[in-house]
Structure formats: C-alpha cells, structure tokens
Chain A
Amino acid sequence: GQNIDQPTEMTATEGAIVQINCTYQTSGFNGLFWYQQHAGEAPTFLSYNVLDGLEEKGRFSSFLSRSKGYSYLLLKELQMKDSASYLCAVKDSNYQLIWGAGTKLIIKP
C-alpha cells in the first residue's frame, strides 16, 4: 500500500527554527509537495521537490532524499502566523497526489 507518515503535532517558539519530517512509501514517485493549511481554510502550496536536495524559498526550505523516501520542511524565524497544519503529499505513478494526515504546528510566544 501507499503511505505517507508525518508527526501529528509539533510545538515551537516564536523566532525559532522547526523541522517537520515526512517519510513516504508510494507506487512510483513524481514529486513531493508541501502545503500549508490554516484551521478552517483551504490548503495552499508551499514547495515542490522532484530532485534530491534542498529548495529554499524565503523563510521556508524543503529537502528531499528519494533513496530514503524522506523529506523535511524547515521553517525559520517562526512567526505566530505560521501556526497551521503542514501537509506532505507525493505524486505517485498515476500522477495522483497521496496525502499525509498533516502536522499541526503550534507556535508559542
């Protein structure tokens, strides 16, 4: 079967750095996505990795290792508005997205 694993919940302090991990086992791989979802709202796109390595976009970075079936999302200089759920998704061999359950990130002052 196909599986995406990520921690259910994490807590971090405003101004700090947090790393959210995602491991996957899917039938095929055509890219990994990170989305942000604030409570009661729709998911919004953060990043996309298809090759190994680090993609940096402002305060957010995403890393991929295809051989290990592993990715992480790194958030720097945390702000209160970063309190949200972060969803990891993999595009499988059918080019459909398989989604993790999401990691709820709580930012404390």
Chain B
Amino acid sequence: TAGITQAPTSQILAAGRSMTLRCTQDMRHNAMYWYRQDLGLGLRLIHYSNTAGTTGKGEVPDGYSVSRANTDDFPLTLASAVPSQTSVYFCASSSQEVEQFFGPGTRLTVL
C-alpha cells in the first residue's frame, strides 16, 4: 500500500507563476490536510478537508486554494507564487483513528 503520495518531490518556480501540488491517498481516509513547514516554525495548517466535497481554511490560507472532488485526491494550488511561499509542503490524512499520516513532502522554491 502506497499510503500518501505527493508530486512533485521538489520544484523551482518563478514568482508570479501558478502551480498545483498533488496529493493522493489510498487509505480511504475522510480527512486530508495541507501543511507548510518552515525552519524554526511548527507545521502550519493551510487548508483542510473533513470529507469529500468540503474544504476549510487553516491558519495560513492566503495565496492558496484547494479542492476535494473525491476521497483520494486533495490538490493544493498557488495561483500566483511569491517568494514567501518557499517552503516544504506536507499533505496528511486521517480517519477515525487518532493520528495523521503524512506524505513525503514537496520542497518548493519560489524565485
């Protein structure tokens, strides 16, 4: 079982360009999350989805959008990237079990 996959693994993006980070899980988890992780800071929640068809804003949603068309996929889109969005992005999922399971992350650099 793959668990959670993310693509791409890393990306260098010019400021002003758009990009979609992909996340797919095969565990049939209802809830999915997008976090960013920056040096010296804890994981910060960008957006979440408690079930397919619904999404919510986290702590740092500005500049990002998400969709949840089905249970497995939860893409994160940057409409017009800025250098402050340089970060490592983690997708995670959970069900009724307690813990969240994380994907391997996408390292994004915006120049």
Interface positions of A (Cβ within 8 A of B): 4, 31, 33, 41-45, 48, 87, 89, 96-102
Q: Is residue B13 contacting chain A, with contact meaning CB distance below 8 A? A: no
Does A87 lie within 8 Å of B43, measured CB to CB? Answer: yes
Looking at the assembled complex, report how far the CB atom of A68 sits from the nearest CB atom of chain B, in whole angstroms. Answer: 21
When A42-B90, A43-B43, A87-B43 are in contact, do A97 and B100 touch as well, CB less than 8 Å?
yes
B103 touches A42 (CB 8 A): yes
Q: Does B22 touch A at the CB level, under 8 Å?
A: no
> Shortest distance in angstroms between B37's beta carbon and chain A's nearest beta carbon?
9
B residues whose Cβ falls under 8 Å from a Cβ of A = 35, 40-45, 48, 58, 90, 98-105
What's the nearest-Cβ distance from chain B to residue A103, in Å? 11
- Dominant SS at the A interface? strand
**Nearest chain-A residue to B41 (Cβ)?**
A101
Complex CA gap A33/B92 in Å reads: 15
Smallest CB separation, B2 vs chain A (Å): 13
Task: List chain B residues, Cβ under 8 A from A100.
Answer: 42
- 3 shortest A-B CB distances, which residue pairs? A99-B42, A45-B99, A42-B102
Q: Which residues of B contact A31 (CB under 8 A)?
A: 98
* CB-based contact A102/B42 at 8 Å: yes
Q: Taking CB as reference atom, which chain B residue is nearest A44?
A: B102
B44: A residues at CB distance < 8 A: 99
Query: Which residues of chain A come closer than 8 Å to B101, judged between CB atoms?
Result: 45
Given known A42-B90, A43-B90, A102-B42, contact A96–B48 (CB-CB < 8 A) = yes
Are B98 and A48 touching (Cβ within 8 A)? yes
What is the minimal beta-carbon distance from B7 to any residue of chain A, in angstroms? 14
Q: Which residues of chain B are near A45, meaning CB under 8 Å?
A: 99-101
Known A-B contacts: A42-B104, A96-B48, A96-B58. Give 15 more (CB < 8 A): A4-B42, A41-B105, A42-B90, A43-B43, A44-B102, A45-B100, A48-B98, A48-B99, A87-B43, A89-B43, A97-B45, A99-B43, A99-B44, A101-B40, A102-B42
